[in-house]
């Protein structure tokens, strides 16, 4: 028999602990990036940006704010529903918020990378380089985990 011998509540407690550990990693990254992004507008170089680059910057900051909200959301969610005997549902919704936060973090990273490379160089290879990095993120964050999930959870798996 595969799996653990857990009650629904025990499983929810374990999954909550695992989710919080995952969120800590993602939150730290998004908060540091967001903090740096917030300072850019106060530098002298900001006024030299083209309107396109300022638009990319504003988009990046908005994405970072949304990612931060989604990744902090599970903590608030848990706090507001704690003690209501709905931990399995809380874990489900917090997991969804975390996934949305990771997608928004991906978009923030891509947007920030695109902006930095546009400002650092005017070469036409920037979109291709950013596309390559996006591909790498997608492989690391989604393709490989989904492949492993499929590979090891199908009925024919060893």
pLDDT at 158 over 70: no
pLDDT at position 1 is 42
Looking at per-residue pLDDT, the higher value among 83 and 132 belongs to: 132
Residue pair 74/19 in contact (Cβ under 8 Å)? The answer is yes
| 6 φψ region: left (φ > 0), alpha (ψ -120 to 50), beta (else) | beta
Residue with tokens 């509540």: 9
Instruction: For the chain, give the mean pLDDT.
Output: 92
For residue 60 the two structure tokens come to 């990046």
Please state the three-class secondary structure of 29-41 as a single string. Answer: HHHHHHHHHHHHC
Residue pair 90/78 in contact (Cβ under 8 Å)? The answer is yes
Record the pTM. 0.89
Q: What is the pLDDT of residues 1-27, one digit of tens each?
A: 467 889 999 999 999 999 999 999 998
d(CA 99, CA 88): 17
Residue with tokens 């492993």: 148
Q: What is the pLDDT of residues 37-68, one digit of tens each?
A: 999 999 999 999 999 999 999 999 999 999 99
d(CA 134, CA 55): 20
For residue 149 the two structure tokens come to 């999930």
């Amino acid at each position: 028999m595969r799996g653990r011998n857990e009650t629904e509540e025990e499983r929810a407690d374990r999954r909550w602990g695992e989710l919080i550990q995952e969120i800590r990693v993602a939150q730290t990254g998004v908060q540091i990036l967001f903090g740096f992004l917030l300072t850019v507008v106060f530098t002298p170089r900001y006024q030299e940006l083209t309107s396109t680059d300022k638009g990319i910057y504003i988009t990046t900051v908005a994405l970072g704010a949304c990612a931060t909200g989604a990744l902090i959301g599970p903590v608030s969610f848990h706090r507001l529903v704690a003690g209501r005997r709905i931990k399995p549902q809380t874990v489900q919704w917090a997991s969804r918020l975390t996934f949305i936060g990771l997608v928004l973090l991906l978009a923030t990273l891509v947007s920030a990378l695109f902006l930095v490379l546009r400002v650092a160089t005017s070469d036409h290879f920037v979109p291709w380089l950013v596309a390559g990095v996006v591909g790498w993120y997608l492989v690391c964050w989604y393709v490989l985990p989904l492949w492993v999930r499929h590979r090891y959870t199908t009925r024919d798996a060893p």
